[in-house]
């Protein structure tokens, strides 16, 4: 069952090539030393959103993949598997037709994954998802904790025997580390239930090959692992009847669980996994946790985004806020990631409940009561009928030429109550921006079609933030707003995106408010390329995209896919929000409205070439988000970085500030530098926000600097700046220590990154070595990259 050295070497060559790709299949390589040895193994990791894409051909689909000397696979995780309905090949109908039993149904334990394997030397290899062994600057190391629990389970001699057994049989054992004393998740694992739950044995092979769950359970009992519950169901229809029945209670045999993992066969005899996650009460518990973190970060309860079960979540947050006032030590424990389950259980006790599903019934009751109150209130003050208690905002994620305006025009013609608001129709001088107009429209309409590209994280974040801040001026508290994401750029490469959209823009010529491909093709090309270069795809696993209540993936093809996208949206809404479209329009009516929308001619035009005599607040170098996230693998398990991630304080965008106008107020030297920057770089379009300029910089990332409890930043060096013609341009930054702020803990702000570096380098400009430096009231940790990381052709912007 071992692949040949040649086969593994060829795979590693493909993986190595994948590390050079810009995106769409880019691989991250990380070299680890096996604990207590000098043996180096390589970890290979792809971006989560690249798995399962039809147009992205990954060399291997494994999540958790380690090789030795490019000759042998030493650790092999499962091929990435998806939730029912998450991908076309996990739709229930497809699974019923294409998979075959028996179906091994296992409980989905709620911990962190641990891989265990052996080497020819007799050494044990214990890994977290992408690393093993010692990691500098890490206070919570999952791999070492897993190894410690394994040694506690088997003793040193038993661990040695396990390593020999796994090596001789070419296997990786896959377990879930569940221990609330080490790390809390959402479901409880008290001391008597804590440990390593074995749920898989994979062959260390390129092709995914795994042992049957019955053999896994036998192995677990023999080697002292915790055993996961499982059952076997022969028929697919019977399987889904079972899953849907369990989904009604969110439990199995009286125990709250996250869901199930199904193991079966597809394509003759290929091993195939898929999962079925319970929405409730697991998602409600996650919402409690995320809402509490926002509460601890200073967010008012009314501004905290609640996807569903709004009333019971609000009641929980009010309870938690009062509890933290009374027990500040509990508040501090929660900040560090402990007490999550305890606070939830105290809330259940407060309500005299023991079952989390009862919280959903209570939420429905509270919702009904609020609805009755609102009807009574409206009836007494007006003869008009009461408004719906749910409003919807449809938010596209797109670039220019994806067809969003055609789609929205068609939908607004089909459903007259759906208001279409176009950002391209709003003057730059207008005081009411698109979010203000959206809220005003929601006062009287149930749906707003928010027609803007929203291609950047910060633009999506701005929608959620502004609506939360201003909604009270327009809507009553009992009205809920749901955000529906329309993902126009899905399962498509950057080159395909450019080819399709540019061809469309060329065809429509000057029939657009701002992009005139006939009148000024050069400007149109520049604007479109800027959008595509900066595009940040939807990722519902992180902020701000996790705030979408629902995301619909659309199609983008060379033939006009807009009519098909209208159908996709209507069908999806009817399935997931049936009250919004009770009856589907006929095919004839949909096609007629679509043809009418194609005749649309804009009556408002923006001058994209206008320059105003306004000066920017600062100049910066935009840094691609993916570059920084990849570099931060260096501190992937550092406690400060993990806390930044958990508390959602990692920045949505990254940049290097070259100079800020505020620097010029008291410093004549800085004032002269600022004047020179403005003269050299110009002003761009002077639109609010970032205006990208025709200048590009090569920079080098030197080290990560962690000011504990305050911030994390990356010290940088400017190498070269050129204009659009690749001619060298001399610029003199105002900031003495160029840096990228990764994130800050309030009340610290990004400006404090500069102060941190000034304090660190006040005595010497020589690059600091790895280590911890105590400076005044700050503890600063420095982590140098193994080799300075060059980033080329990063675009400069002016911010107004």
Residue 66 is predicted with a pLDDT of 96
pLDDT of residue 18 exceeding 70: yes
Q: Could you tell me if 798 and 619 are in contact, meaning their C-beta atoms sit under 8 angstroms apart?
A: yes
Q: Is the pLDDT of residue 724 over 50?
A: yes
Q: Among 205, 197, 204, 194, which Cα is nearest to 223's?
A: 197
Judged against a pLDDT cut of 60, whether residue 137 lies above it is answered with: no
SS3 557: coil
Average pLDDT over residues 696-700: 92
Using the predicted structure, report yes or no on whether residue 108 has a pLDDT greater than 90. Answer: no
- DSSP secondary structure of 334-364: HHTT-SHHHHHHHHHHHTT---THHHHHHHH
CA distance 490 to 545: 14
How many residues does the structure list for the chain? Answer: 800
Q: Of 653 and 531, which is predicted with more confidence?
A: 653
Domain 390-598 matching CATH 3.40.50.300: the answer reads yes
The token pair that represents 769 in the structure block: 């070595």
pLDDT of 523 > 70? The answer is no
Average pLDDT for 447-458: 91
Per-residue pLDDT band for 431 (boundaries 50, 70, 90) equals: low
Is residue 525's pLDDT more than 80? no
Q: Is the pLDDT of residue 359 over 90?
A: no
Q: How far is CA 245 from CA 35, 107, 238, 240, in A?
A: 45, 15, 11, 8
Contact of 729 with 695, CB cutoff 8 Å: yes
The confidence score (pLDDT) of residue 626 equals 73
Q: What is the pLDDT of residue 608?
A: 42
Residue 484 has pLDDT above 50, yes or no: yes
The arithmetic mean of pLDDT across residues 376-398, rounded, is 62
Question: What confidence tier does 760 reach under pLDDT thresholds 50, 70, 90?
Answer: very high
377: pLDDT strictly greater than 50: no
Least confident of 325-339, 347-361, 371-385: 371-385
Inform me whether the pLDDT recorded for 755 exceeds 70: yes
121, 37 in Cβ contact below 8 A?
A: yes
pLDDT of residue 172: 97
**pLDDT, position 61:** 93
Does the pLDDT at position 114 exceed 50? yes
Q: Where in the chain is the domain with CATH 3.90.1740?
A: 618-799
Place of tokens 């759906």: 418
Q: Please report the pLDDT score of residue 511 as a whole number.
A: 43
Give me the pLDDT at residue 335, please: 82
Question: How is the beta sheet containing 99-107 ordered, strand by strand?
Answer: 230-233, 99-107, 259-266, 270-277
Report phi then psi at 528, rounded to 5.
-65, -45
d(C-alpha 787, C-alpha 781), whole Å: 18
**Burial of 439: CB neighbours in 10 Å, binned 0-12, 13-18, 19+:** buried
Distance CA 237, CA 92 (A): 10
Query: 486 vs 142, which has greater pLDDT?
Result: 486
Q: What does the pLDDT read at residue 12? A: 95
Indicate the pLDDT class of residue 579, thresholds 50, 70 and 90: confident
Where do you find CATH 3.40.50.300 in the chain?
A: 390-598
pLDDT class for 510, splitting at 50, 70, 90? Answer: very low
Contact 647, 543 (CB under 8 A): no
Q: Worst-scoring range by mean pLDDT, 97-111, 262-276, 612-626, 764-778?
A: 612-626
Of 735, 612, 764, 603, the closest CA to residue 669 belongs to: 735
- Can you list the alpha helix ranges (DSSP code H) found in 382-456? 404-414, 434-442
Q: If residue 393 lies in a helix (H) or strand (E), which one and from where to where? A: strand 390-397
Count of beta carbons in the 10 Å neighbourhood of residue 645:
15
Instruction: Pick 252 or 158 by higher pLDDT.
Output: 158
Kindly indicate the confidence band of residue 701, based on its pLDDT and cuts at 50, 70 and 90. very high
pLDDT surpasses 70 at 378: no
Q: What is the mean pLDDT of residues 398-405?
A: 89
pLDDT higher than threshold 70 for residue 795: yes
Predicted confidence at residue 551, as pLDDT, reads 94
pLDDT at residue 375, rounded to an integer: 42
Q: Which residue has the higher pLDDT, 385 or 490?
A: 490
Query: Could you tell me the pLDDT band of residue 600, with boundaries at 50, 70 and 90?
Result: low
pLDDT in tens, 140-176: 688 899 999 999 999 999 999 999 999 999 999 999 9
Evaluate whether 791 touches 779 at the Cβ level (below 8 Å): no
Question: What are the pLDDT digits (tens) for 35-93?
Answer: 989 999 999 998 877 888 777 889 999 999 999 999 999 999 999 999 998 888 999 99
* Residues 6 or more apart in contact with residue 23 via CB below 8 angstroms: 47, 494, 626
Mean pLDDT of 771-794: 88
pLDDT class of 721 with cuts at 50, 70, 90: very high
pTM of the full structure:
0.54
Specify which of 135-144, 178-187, 356-365 reaches the highest per-range mean pLDDT.
178-187
Average pLDDT, the chain: 84
Domain 618-799, what fold?
A: 2',3'-cyclic nucleotide 3'-phosphodiesterase fold (3.90.1740)
* pLDDT given at position 621: 94
pLDDT bracket for residue 384 (50, 70, 90): very low
3-class state of residue 225 by DSSP:
coil
Q: Which residues are within 8 A (CB) of 258 and not within 5 positions of it... i.e. 6 or more apart?
A: 108, 109, 110, 186, 187, 277, 278, 282
Model confidence at 543, in pLDDT bands (50, 70, 90)?
confident
**What pLDDT is recorded for position 515?**
44
Pick the most confident of 103-107, 128-132, 500-504: 103-107
Catalytic sites, residue numbers? 108
Mean pLDDT, range 95-110, rounded to an integer: 91
How confident is the model over 766-791, as a mean pLDDT?
A: 89
Percent of the chain with pLDDT strictly greater than 90: 39
Band (514; pLDDT cuts 50, 70, 90): very low
Whether residue 601 has pLDDT greater than 80: no
Structure tokens at 706: 């962690």
Q: Is the pLDDT of residue 777 over 60?
A: yes
Note the pLDDT tens digit of each residue in 291-324. 888 888 777 776 677 777 778 888 889 999 999 9
In the chain, the percentage of residues whose pLDDT exceeds 70 is 89
Whether the Cβ atoms of residue 482 and residue 550 lie closer than 8 Å to each other = yes
The reported pLDDT for the residue numbered 700 is 93
């Amino acid at each position: 069952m071992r692949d040949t050295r040649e086969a593994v070497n060829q795979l590693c060559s493909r993986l190595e090539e994948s590390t050079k790709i810009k995106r769409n299949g880019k691989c991250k390589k990380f070299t680890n030393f096996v604990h207590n040895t000098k043996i180096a193994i390589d970890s290979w990791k792809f971006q989560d959103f690249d798995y399962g894409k039809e147009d992205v051909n990954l060399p291997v689909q494994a999540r958790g993949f380690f090789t030795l000397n490019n000759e042998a696979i030493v650790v092999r995780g499962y091929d990435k598997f998806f939730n029912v309905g998450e991908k076309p090949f996990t739709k229930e109908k497809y699974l019923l037709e294409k998979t075959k039993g028996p179906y091994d149904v296992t409980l989905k334990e709620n911990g962190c994954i641990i891989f265990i394997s052996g080497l020819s030397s007799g050494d044990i290899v214990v890994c977290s998802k992408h690393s093993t062994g010692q990691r500098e600057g890490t206070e919570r190391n999952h791999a070492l904790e897993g190894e410690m629990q394994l040694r506690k389970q088997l003793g040193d001699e038993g661990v040695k025997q396990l390593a020999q057994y796994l090596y001789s049989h070419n296997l990786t054992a896959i377990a879930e580390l569940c221990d609330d004393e080490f790390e809390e998740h959402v479901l409880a694992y008290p001391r008597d239930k804590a440990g390593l739950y074995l749920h898989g044995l994979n062959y260390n092979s390129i092709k995914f090959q795994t042992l049957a769950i019955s053999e896994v359970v036998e192995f677990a009992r023999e080697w002292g692992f915790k055993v996961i519950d499982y059952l076997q169901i022969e028929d697919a229809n019977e399987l889904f009847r079972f899953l849907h029945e369990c989904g009604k209670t969110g439990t199995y045999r009286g125990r709250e669980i996250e869901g199930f993992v199904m193991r079966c066969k597809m394509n003759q005899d290929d091993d195939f996994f898929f999962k079925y996650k319970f929405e409730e009460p697991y998602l409600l518990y996650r919402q409690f946790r995320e809402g509490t973190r926002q509460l601890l970060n200073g967010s008012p309860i009314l501004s905290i985004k609640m996807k569903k079960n709004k009333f019971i979540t609000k009641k929980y947050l009010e309870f938690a806020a009062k509890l933290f006032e009374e027990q500040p030590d509990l508040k501090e424990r929660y900040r560090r990631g402990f007490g999550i389950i305890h606070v939830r259980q105290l809330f259940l006790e407060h309500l005299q409940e023991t079952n989390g599903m009862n919280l959903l019934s209570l939420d429905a009751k509270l919702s009904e009561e609020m609805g009755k109150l609102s009807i009574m209130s409206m009836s007494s003050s007006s003869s008009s009928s009461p408004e719906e208690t749910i409003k919807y905002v449809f938010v596209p994620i797109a670039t220019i030429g994806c067809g969003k305006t055609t789609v929205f025009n068609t939908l607004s013609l089909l459903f007259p109550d759906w208001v279409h608001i176009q950002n391209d129709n709003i003057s730059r001088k207008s005081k009411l921006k698109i979010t203000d107009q959206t809220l005003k429209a929601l006062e009287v309409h149930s749906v707003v079609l928010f027609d803007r590209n929203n291609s950047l994280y910060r633009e999506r974040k701005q929608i959620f933030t502004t609506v939360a801040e201003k909604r009270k001026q327009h809507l009553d508290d009992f009205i809920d707003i749901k955000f529906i994401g329309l993902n126009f750029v899905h399962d498509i490469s950057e080159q395909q995106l450019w080819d399709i959209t540019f061809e469309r823009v060329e065809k429509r010529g000057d029939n657009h408010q701002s992009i005139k491909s006939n009148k000024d093709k050069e400007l149109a090309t520049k604007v479109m390329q800027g959008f595509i270069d900066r595009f940040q795809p939807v990722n519902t696993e992180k902020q701000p995209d996790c705030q979408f209540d629902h995301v619909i993936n659309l199609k983008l093809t060379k033939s006009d896919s807009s009519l098909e996208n209208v159908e996709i949206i209507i069908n999806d809404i009817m399935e997931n929000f049936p009250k919004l479209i009770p009856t589907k329009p006929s095919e004839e009516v949909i096609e007629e409205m679509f043809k009418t929308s194609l005749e649309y001619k804009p009556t408002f035009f923006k001058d994209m070439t206008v320059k105003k005599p306004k000066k920017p607040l600062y100049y910066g170098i935009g840094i691609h988000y993916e570059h920084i996230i990849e570099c931060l693998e260096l501190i992937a398990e550092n406690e400060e970085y993990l806390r930044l991630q958990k508390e959602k304080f990692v920045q949505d965008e990254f940049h290097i500030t070259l100079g800020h106008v505020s620097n010029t107020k008291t410093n004549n030297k800085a004032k002269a530098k600022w004047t020179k920057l403005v003269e050299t770089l110009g002003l761009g379009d002077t639109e609010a926000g970032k205006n990208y300029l025709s200048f590009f910089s090569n920079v080098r990332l030197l080290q990560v600097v962690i000011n504990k409890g305050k911030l994390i930043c990356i010290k940088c060096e400017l190498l070269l700046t050129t204009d659009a013609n690749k001619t060298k341009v001399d610029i003199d930054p105002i900031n003495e220590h160029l840096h990228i702020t990764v994130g800050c803990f309030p009340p610290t702000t990004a400006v404090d990154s500069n102060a941190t570096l000034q304090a660190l380098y006040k005595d010497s400009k020589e690059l600091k070595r790895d280590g911890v430096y105590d400076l005044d009231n700050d503890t600063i940790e420095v982590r140098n990259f193994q080799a300075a990381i060059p980033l080329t052709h990063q675009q400069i912007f002016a911010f107004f």
